[in-house]
Amino acid sequence: MRAVATAFVIALAACGARTELYAPEEEDASVLDAAHDAPHDARDEDAIVDAGIEDAPLPSPLCATFDGAAPTKICTDDVHVGFIDVSMSTCFVDLVIQFGQDGFVNFACDGQSQWANAKFPDGGFVGTIEGSTVDLCTGTVFPWSDGCTWASAQRITGDLDSGTLQFTYEETPIEGGPCETPCSAQGTILVE
């Protein structure tokens, strides 16, 4: 029995990435929505509220804020979360979107503003649009059992006219250490 337990501990340690096995039971991890990094500074909290995202995004350490002008005209495209692949099956990723969810992308269609956002049942993204290309970001900050505080950057990028946007998830420890190996994910968002 001791050999089995030792083998289990060695196999678990060899995993090297944060796994859900030791996930904290705390449910108070804060979700911080924010825009992608400069020079795409395009955030207007009043416009976000007007466009249907009631909780104005807060800055995240991995997603920059946006101070752009509110658009005079907002257009909307419906979107659907296609697939999401996690870097390793043992990884825990703190996603604000899930496979199969429907949402929408709002964007300035007045030709003067670069403002854009996206809304899904569990959270929103903010960022910019240039032509028909969006660059949206949201982030979460959460404590982990390794004693570190982690931050994620979840991005939706791509050309709305192409019909498919890319989703990426990256994370990094922002406090504490030594920390476990970060996880990542990628996927698609289908424009309907």
Q: How far is CA 70 from CA 3, 50, 78, in A?
A: 63, 10, 21
In eight-state DSSP terms, residue 65 is -
CA distances, 135 to each of 29, 35, 45, 91, 178 (Å): 25, 8, 17, 26, 32
Measured CA distances, 122 to 53, 61, 73, 78 (Å): 11, 20, 26, 16
Count of the separate structural domains present in the chain: 1
Task: Find, among 119, 134, 136, the residue nearest to 53 by Cα.
Answer: 119
Query: Would you write out the chain's pLDDT as a tens digit for each of its 192 residues?
Result: 323 333 333 333 333 444 443 333 333 333 333 332 222 222 233 433 343 433 433 346 778 766 677 788 999 999 999 999 999 988 888 899 999 999 999 999 888 889 999 999 999 999 999 999 999 999 888 899 999 999 999 999 999 999 999 999 999 999 998 999 999 999 999 999
pLDDT of residue 169: 95
Quickly count: other Cβ atoms within 10 Å of residue 131's Cβ: 9
Residue-level pLDDT at 66: 67
Structure token digits, residue 122: 């569990």
Range of the domain at 113: 2-191
Contacts 24+ apart (CB under 8 A), 37-40: 37/63, 37/64, 37/137, 38/64, 40/64, 40/66, 40/114, 40/127, 40/128, 40/130, 40/135
CA 61 to chain CA centroid, Å, is 12
pTM for this model (two decimals):
0.69
- Under a CB-based contact definition with an 8 Å cutoff, are residues 82 and 106 in contact? no
Q: What angle do CA 97, 101, 102 make, to 5 degrees?
A: 115
Residue 59: the pLDDT is 46
pLDDT at position 162 is 97
- C-alpha torsion 63→83→51→72, nearest 10: 80
**Residue ranges in the chain assigned as alpha helix (H):** 2-15, 45-50
Contacts with 11 (C-beta within 8 Å, 6 or more apart), sequence order: none
* pLDDT, position 46: 41
Say what the pLDDT of residue 171 is: 92
